Amino acid sequence: MNPTSAADGHALPVAGGRATAGEVWRLSRGHRLRLTAVGLVGVAGTAVDLIPPVAVGYLVDRVRAGTADPGTVLTVTGVMALSAVLGAAGTAVTVAHATRIYHTVLAALREQLVSRAMRLPQHLVERAGTGDLISRSSDDVTAVADAAPAVIPALTVTAFTIAVSLAGLAALEWPYAAAFAVVLPVYALAMRWYLRTGPRVYRAERAAMSARAQQILESQRGYATVLGFGLAEHRHRAVLTASWDVAVHAIRARTVQSMLNARLNLGECLSLAAVLVVGFVLVDHRLSTVGGATTAMLLVLRLLGPVNQLLFVVDTLQSALASLSRMIGVVTIPVTETPGMPTPPEEPADAAERGTAVRLRGVAFHYDGGPPVLDDIDLDIPAGQHLAIVGPSGAGKTTLASVIAGVHLPDAGTVTRPRRTAVITQEVHVFAGTLRENLTLAAPGATDRDIRAALETTGADDLLDLSADALDTLIGTGGHPLTEAQAQQLALARLLLADPELAILDEATAEAGSAHAERLDRASEAVLAGRSGIVIAHRLSQAAPCDRIVVLDAGRVIETGTHDELLTAGGTYARLWAVWQAGQRLGAGR
């Protein structure tokens, strides 16, 4: 049986029970000695709590025998008070240390989840839906963290209390323990029913939450498209449907919870009745004393609370385990790539001698279930040269850039590229934080002087004037909003600071509009200066200055050469150039 499984053919995998337990055990490394100490303190603390029932039973027998006096009462009261203090201290120490270990392990798991999520192949995330990944790193993490107040006492103090109390009951009079044991099948049947029903219901609830997150995320990301095509009502219905689906599954989960509670109440009633009957018979036959029966009843009453709490918290535990399995399902996805992209193959010796920066041989690629997007691509890019990739919409330009960058792995063929490769796409993201933090993401060691030089080189030094805080100006969410042109300049300055061997600009200046096109083109040229570069050209004016141009159509290279050579050849590029120039003249005449 596979350690992980998927809910369907597209969702990210969910770890099985064995894989989840193995990962938790691995994460507990370094904490196991502390866990042992916590267990010992917990057992000692709950053992002390056995003293009050025994003391009450002792007092009852002394009263019936007529040998009790004020000193006896004071002694019993003092012993009970002292045991209560010691028991509470043991409980506090146990819960506090267990909680600290719990959250330490959860923090380590959360860090692994984020780290692995950043390394997942893009096609895997796209196929599953970004909402699924976001739900696992937010909703599921919250569910596991929020379970701590209920789960930790149940797995520590409550479990110890049950074990110690059962042992004390058996030591007092074995018939009392036998009477309680007779009722245990009621609890066992309740748990059997719940374990068959609960996990399935909670998995469905978490899956519904993921689907809702995906619908909300798509509506937010596609806001402009939703408005442009009048799809607001359609998207509203989609989100509403997903939200109602969550509500239905949540009601089912709460129904299961209520049915479990009813079964636990039945077990409690039967337990008390059984011990009372046994106590009556034993006292009647002088096999036990009234004090002994009183102690037994107090122990059973002391047991019922923890038993119900432990079984009832299984409801919370199942929900947390469902989320934990989804988190570990991501953590245990095999990923051999280094952060950001796959490790490129070693550059062949002959390529190094000729100074080849990028080499593609027989590269083919297709998206899941789709036709080939790239077909038998052979391409060499000499070190230090700039290559433009042009072609009609749908020709495979962005896919080719992604394969070269390592975002997608080719289905066939080989790709060789520099290890230090950076990509800027037309979807530029501004992170919430300071201007300095945004620029040093890929170059943590950059000084303020380096940052200012990069901003000046890319013509983005006006970003320093957004506020009096200069590099400490907050931008992004909650800060100064940036225009599309400013965001693209920021991305170009970030790339300049990263100083890659190969820079890939995938229509990186396409969204800023014609008003800023010339300025952004100059910034792009400054960024590419002195390094190998690939430009996916949205405007053919970006392609013309490049050392070589590749024309792509239907996933194949149909033309290659310099700007002048391709114009002279009178092929596809020449026609694209003529159409583009006509559009420029038309736009200028308006």
Identify whether 343 is part of a domain. Answer: no
pLDDT tens for each residue of 241-268: 888 988 998 898 888 878 887 887 888 7
Domain match, 529 and 562 both:
yes
4: tokens are 């992980």
How confident is the model at residue 10, as a pLDDT?
Answer: 55
Q: Region 496-523: what's the mean pLDDT?
A: 73
Distance from C-alpha of 251 to C-alpha of 193, rounded to nearest angstrom: 18
How confident is the model at residue 183, as a pLDDT?
Answer: 81
Domain match, 178 and 302 both:
yes
Domain match, 244 and 387 both:
no
Domain match, 321 and 414 both:
no
Helix (H) or strand (E) holding 378: strand 372-382
333: tokens are 């996805």
CA angle 576, 491, 352 (to 5 degrees): 75
Domain match, 326 and 356 both:
no
Number of domains within the chain: 2
Domain match, 412 and 362 both:
yes
Q: Could you give the residue ranges of the DSSP H alpha helices within 332-372?
A: 349-354
Which of 331, 365, 389 corresponds to the end of one domain?
A: 331
Q: What residue numbers bound the domain in which 379 lies?
A: 349-589
How confident is the model at residue 432, as a pLDDT?
Answer: 81
pLDDT tens for each residue of 196-233: 887 788 778 878 888 888 888 888 777 777 777 777 88
pLDDT over 70 at 527, yes or no: yes
Give the model's confidence band at 508: pLDDT under 50 very low, under 70 low, under 90 confident, else very high. low
Domain match, 248 and 319 both:
yes
Identify whether 414 is part of a domain. Answer: yes
How confident is the model at residue 386, as a pLDDT?
Answer: 92
CB atoms within 10 A of CB 236: 12
Identify whether 338 is part of a domain. Answer: no
Domain match, 315 and 385 both:
no
Q: Region 544-562: what's the mean pLDDT?
A: 89
Domain match, 21 and 144 both:
yes
SS3 category, 288: coil
pLDDT tens for each residue of 76-111: 888 888 888 888 888 888 888 888 888 888 888 888
Identify whether 366 is part of a domain. Answer: yes
Identify whether 535 is part of a domain. Answer: yes
Domain match, 447 and 530 both:
yes
- What residues does 374 pair with on adjacent strands? 365
Identify whether 238 is part of a domain. Answer: yes
Q: Region 573-586: what's the mean pLDDT?
A: 80
Identify whether 408 is part of a domain. Answer: yes
Identify whether 342 is part of a domain. Answer: no
Domain match, 290 and 419 both:
no
Residue 113 sits in a domain whose CATH number is: 1.20.1560.10
Q: Provide CB contacts within 8 A for 58, sequence distance 6+.
A: 76, 291
Buried b (16+ CB within 10 A) or exposed e, 423-445: bbbbebebeebbbebbbbeebee
Residue 527 sits in a domain whose CATH number is: 3.40.50.300
Domain match, 306 and 400 both:
no
